[in-house]
A and B are shown apart, each in its own frame.
Chain A
Amino acid sequence: MKYRQARWDEPLIFELTSGKDKETFQLGDDYFAKLGKEALTEVAQNIARKEGPNIPNLSEPEVVRHYTRLTQMSYGIDVGVVPLGSCTMKYNPKICEDLANDDRITYAHPYMSEEYLQGLLEMLYTLQEWLAELTGMDVCSLHPPAGAAGELTGVLIIREYLRDREYTYKDEILVPESAHGTNPASAAMAGFKVVRIPTDERGNTDLNALKAAVSDRTAGIMLTNPSTLGLFEEKITEISDLIHSKGGLLYYDGANLNGILGIARPGDMGFDIVHLNLHKTFAAPHGGGGPGAGAICVKKELADYLPKPLVRKEGSRYYLDYNIRKSIGKITWFYGNIVPAIKSFIYLMMLGPEIREVAEVAVLNTNYFMKKIKELPGVDLIYGRERWRKHEVVISFKDLLRETGVSAEDVAKALLDRGIHAPTIYFPLTVPEAHMVEFTESESKRTIDEVVSAYRDIVRQAYEDPGKLKEAPRNTSVGRLDALRANHPRTLAPTHKYVKRNISG
């Protein structure tokens, strides 16, 4: 596929001024500004800002054009495929954007009395119920603002639950080595020691290693199932029994739920706590990095530990319940990220009980792709070569690198040149030269075929003319960037001030 991204030589917003101030957008009115100015001189002289911040004064059209040009040098799911593994980059339905941008939500103040926001609360309550049904858990809360915050919530629940039982010697959390980096990071934030569990050849958690690692000190295990290899944990019931027999809890990382949605439920597998990424499985957009929304769901025994508040219903009235006996407290102020949650509510309303179709097609897409891609020279699957995948598949370019010198990164950059966003690369860390590919249910056969043929083309080039691939990408707004320079203390430039400093120094 031919692709040429826009290349604007767009200056920084600071450099857009001609030195002369324009009339800027005004929200301050003369009458009150005058009063304020007087007050400032009277009572606040010593803390008044003498020189305004160095922010340019531009007119409205100048600002709009600047940022519009920047959008043209960006790439989202509406532009093309973004097969980032474990990121679940599915289509974000326009109807969700359209409806959730209602100003009755945008301008809803979190301290407004519940009586005035019954409609909004009803949607949040209903979503909590639906998510509990989808996960097989008893109670869901929409409190965590993102997946990682959901994990922190979850491990703190484990911590408080164990402390209540005076199991303070339980200070270890088990994490498979193929887990998302957030799992060990979250466990460590809550004060747990992290014990790594290896993966066996079939791509399952190594059961023998697990048995050896489990002890009285085991507080719990954090698992994503299917794993980051896209493989279902076949011995999940045994793992669950083993951990529970030692008084530990099972934590489910919901980042990979898309492959089993409506097919199997973490609650039925024995998980005690589940976090969900509403911005992945439930179609809220990623916004170039956020905002997300992360529900946290638990079994009955842990409901008293949920963060405050929960949306509850009494008769026909909805309210925020702060009376949660042993609550871990608050992970964020207010109630979580409400707007993405509303988008997920609309998404689920339109799929309803047919939600299983999402997983079926997402999994079909993965396996269809895998079947074709594993035939290419230089490509290997490493783990579970004979097994079907679920939401994603990890391929390794270890052989390609050895035979041609072309790395997983080079292949990724060559994909960009063909108008295809690269998958997640170099993850999981257990797979050398990895590409972790997830199409979700949103990609058409035609797109997947295009990706396969792009890979085929790139691999062929690697064997014929590897040097050429080192020059990729060429069709994007800029060529390959200098990461060394970007991270070097002498050339580091995290804000515009440094750009000037680095040039003059």
Chain B
Amino acid sequence: MPHHWIPNSAKEVKQEMLKETGVDNVEEFFKDIPEKLRLKKKLRVGFGKPLLEHEARRKFLGILSKNKFTGFVNTHRVFLGGGVCVHYIPSVVKAIVSRAEFYTAYTPYQPEINQGILQAFFEYQSLMAELYGVDIVNASMYNASTAAAEAVRMALRVKKGRERVLIASSAHPEIKEVIRTWVKGLNVRLEEIPYRREDGELDISALHAKLGDDVAAVYIESPNFFGIVERKLRDIIEVTHDAGALAIVNANPLSLGIFKAPGELGADIVVGDAQSLGVGLNYGGPSAGILGIQDRRELLRQLPGRLIGMTKTVDGLENGFMMILQTREQHIRRERATSNITTNSGLEAIAAAVYVSLLGAKGLKKLGEALLGRTTYFLGTLRKHCVDAAPLFEKGLYFREVAISFKDRDARDVISQLEKQGIYVGPPLSRFYDAMRDCSLLCLTELHSKDDIDELVSKLALVLGGEAR
């Protein structure tokens, strides 16, 4: 049946083309498919018949309206954390990534006709390198979880022969699970390093005890899953290096406007997620995974993923951009490639580049401060007005996210009570740790005003049975 997306489906055009091709019927083209494999029935796809655009729109909106969550207008009451949080997406970012020259482009295999998008990727790599304090960042991975998994695999190749990788117990549980999945098939033992009860930071003496000459890498997050900033990151990296292992640090990009960059502190491989840089939540994806390294030959040779470089035209007169070091990649190296990654998160990487360009160093610093300010304000208000809840780590430095304990109240129950009042908090930590029944995460961003935070605390106090003052 002819369709407006398919130019040559128009009957007369189709007939003309068939004739010029020398066949009577399209069936001719499919005769080499064994008869019994050729479908005779119509497939049950769609809603009984093709929908016209206005019908599809109505159908789509009808289904989506079953969401009780009503979108941006609601986000000042969404305090959900867990690696990703509600952050504002500037209109400029949306406008640029909605340009069809970008979003309908393929991977720039023909650089001369795609200089613009190549330059945008090059700028993404450069801007992230500045933010994370490293020399090289690739053109993106799928998200932080796969960037972390690829970083671990990469470290195992660089430190060939070493068969243990140490992972901070305070890392995001889903990232830990992704790493575990991605190293199946490799000869490696993953071991966890505990965090300290008092401040939630990595227990450096435990790390010290676990390190040895069979450890390839240490993976750590700052802020970690509980929202705790690792204040001893430099020491952790030094201890790791003393044992000859690589330090992989996953940092939230918005924390880097105010906190020292992991690369500056000596991290060999840095990881991050671009979700907070104007990409959006997207119910968990897509985002873009940031993966960067220091300029060392052994690291660069093992770096997975696409990399854009600046070069000159053959005549040497003009600058230009193209994909580089492709001999690392699957389409050339096949089973000996550094990774199978092909499609990445190009458009989200551009979103991140536009976001960072838009805020500039000034805007990033101020946003970082404002985020830390909110965490501080929330904890202060909680201490004053809600005695039945407390931060999980009394002496920890929280940024953006806070692990909070409800003192023996089931967190799932507390969360669902808050939901009924239109306030979304979570995830409950029992989702990941059986022993943390009374704990939850929550997240405070630029989308939450002082009033919103006050309301959160007072509602929380009410739910927990305390008096809201």
Contact = CB atoms under 8 A, between A and B. Distances in A.
A288 interface: yes
Contacts of B416: 113
A72 B116 CA distance: 7
Contacts of A25: 90, 92, 358-360, 363
Contacts of A496: 122-123, 126, 310
Interface in B314-366: 314-322, 324-325, 329-337, 339-348, 350, 353-354, 356-366
Interface in B217-271: 229, 231, 233, 256-261
B426 interface: yes
Given A110-B283, A120-B67, A445-B13, A191 B186 contact: yes
A394 to B, nearest CB: 15
Given A336-B284, A337-B286, 5 more contacts: A72-B116, A75-B113, A110-B283, A185-B340, A338-B286
Given A28-B366, A56-B357, A353-B42, A476 B112 contact: yes
B205 interface: no
Given A74-B116, A181-B334, A357 B9 contact: yes
Interface stretch (A43-51, A206-214, A243-251, A460-468): A43-51
Contact of A481 (B22, B32, B140, B314): B314
A486 B311 contact: yes
A352 B48 contact: yes
A288 B346 contact: yes
A339 B348 CA distance: 12
Given A36-B369, A120-B283, A495-B137, A112 B145 contact: no
A103 B71 contact: yes
Given A25-B358, A44-B259, A106-B281, A481 B44 contact: no
A363 B186 CA distance: 41
Given A349-B47, A480-B313, A497-B129, A287 B283 contact: no
B78 to A, nearest CB: 6
A358 B119 contact: no
Given A49-B258, A264-B33, A441-B8, A333 B178 contact: yes
B339 A74 contact: no
A331 B178 contact: yes
A66 B95 CA distance: 13
Given A63-B92, A75-B101, A481-B314, A111 B32 contact: no
Nearest to A54: B130
A123 interface: yes
Contacts of A433: none
B130 A36 contact: no
B108 A494 contact: no
B209 interface: no
A377 interface: no
Nearest to B186: A191
A40 B107 contact: no
Interface residues of A, number: 208
A74 B96 contact: no
Given A89-B106, A268-B37, A479-B318, A47 B259 contact: yes
The 9 A-B pairs of least Cβ separation, nearest first, read A334-B284, A191-B185, A352-B46, A287-B347, A289-B346, A76-B104, A32-B373, A36-B373, A73-B116
Interface in A70-95: 70-79, 82, 84, 87, 89, 91-93, 95
Contacts of B336: 188
A123 B64 CA distance: 8
Interface in A311-335: 328-335
A363 B45 contact: no
Interface stretch (B162-170, B301-309, B384-392, B454-462): B301-309
A401 interface: no
Interface string B47-87: 11111110011011101111111111011001011111110
Contacts of A231: 32
Nearest to A328: B181
B282 to A, nearest CB: 5
Contacts of B30: 232, 260, 263-264, 363
Contacts of B105: 74-77, 82, 286-289
Contacts of B7: 442-445
Interface in A180-198: 180-182, 184-192, 194
B155 interface: no
A169 interface: no
A206 to B, nearest CB: 17
Nearest to B312: A482
Contacts of A46: 231
A268 to B, nearest CB: 5
Given A115-B68, A363-B29, A35 B286 contact: no
Contact of B72 (A24, A103, A329, A424): A103
A212 B96 CA distance: 54
B358 A60 contact: yes
Contacts of B350: 67, 288
B417 interface: no
Nearest to B177: A330
A102 B63 CA distance: 13
Contact of B370 (A36, A147, A337): A36
A95 to B, nearest CB: 5
A404 interface: no
A33 B366 CA distance: 6
A53 B3 contact: no
Contacts of A54: 130, 361
A493 B309 contact: yes
Contacts of A78: 100-101, 104
Contacts of A48: 258-260
Contact of B335 (A50, A187, A476): A187
Nearest to A486: B311
Interface in A50-69: 50, 52-58, 60, 63-64, 66-69
B144 interface: yes
A146 B343 contact: yes
A492 B125 CA distance: 14
A354 B46 CA distance: 9
> Taking each of B22, B51, B75, which has the highest tally of chain A beta carbons within 10 Å of its own beta carbon?
B51
Contacts of B320: 478, 481
A495 B34 contact: no
B6 A330 contact: no
Nearest to B336: A188
Nearest to A155: B185
B312 A188 contact: no
Given A35-B373, A76-B105, A111-B426, A185 B46 contact: no
Contacts of A368: 17, 20-21
B324 A74 contact: no
B195 interface: no
Contacts of B311: 481-483, 485-486, 491, 493
A399 interface: no
Contacts of B110: 75, 412-413, 416, 421-422
A44 B229 contact: yes
A74 B312 contact: no
A89 B26 CA distance: 22
B394 interface: no
